[in-house]
Amino acid sequence: MAGQRVRDDGVAGPARRGSVQAERDVNGRYRWSLKAPNGRIVAVSAPAYDTPEQARQVFENLRGATPGLVARITHVRDGIGWIWVVPGPRGVPQARSHRTYERYATCQNAFRRFVALLERPEGGELPVPRDEF
């Protein structure tokens, strides 16, 4: 069933989508985060941006470059585990895994899931966060 998911009770429902959000950091700058349909954060922007519009544009550019994306998978400096990073045109990280992975292969699979979420045509509106006063 394309575009459908089957619930535990066997009834077909609409396919769940991942979501992208621009969130304000403690320093007042913005980062995007990509969540899987189950609500877990899959990836975050590596740099922070001055406006949510800049974060939106960088995310959309990343989506446009999906077929050619590659990841650097590296061991974390402090602690145990692996992370993936998507380098930009000048080698500066654009996106990274939200967490560390215990195994190298699990980290590779997490990057594949990230790419699969980027390729979904229905996902990707980046809501503008409301300022809290």
Give residue-wise pLDDT tens across range 47-88: 999 999 999 999 999 999 888 899 999 999 888 999 999 998
CATH 3.30.70.980, applies to 16-119:
no
- Mean pLDDT over 102-112 rounds to 96
Task: Output the six-digit token pair for 24.
Answer: 């304000």
Q: Please give the Cα distance from 59 to 70 (Å, whole number).
A: 15
- Mean pLDDT over 84-98 rounds to 92
- pLDDT above 70 for 127: no
- For the entire predicted model, the pTM comes to 0.74
Q: Are 32 and 125 in contact (CB under 8 A)?
A: no
pLDDT for the residue 17 = 59
With bands split at pLDDT 50, 70 and 90, how would you rate the model's confidence at 18? confident
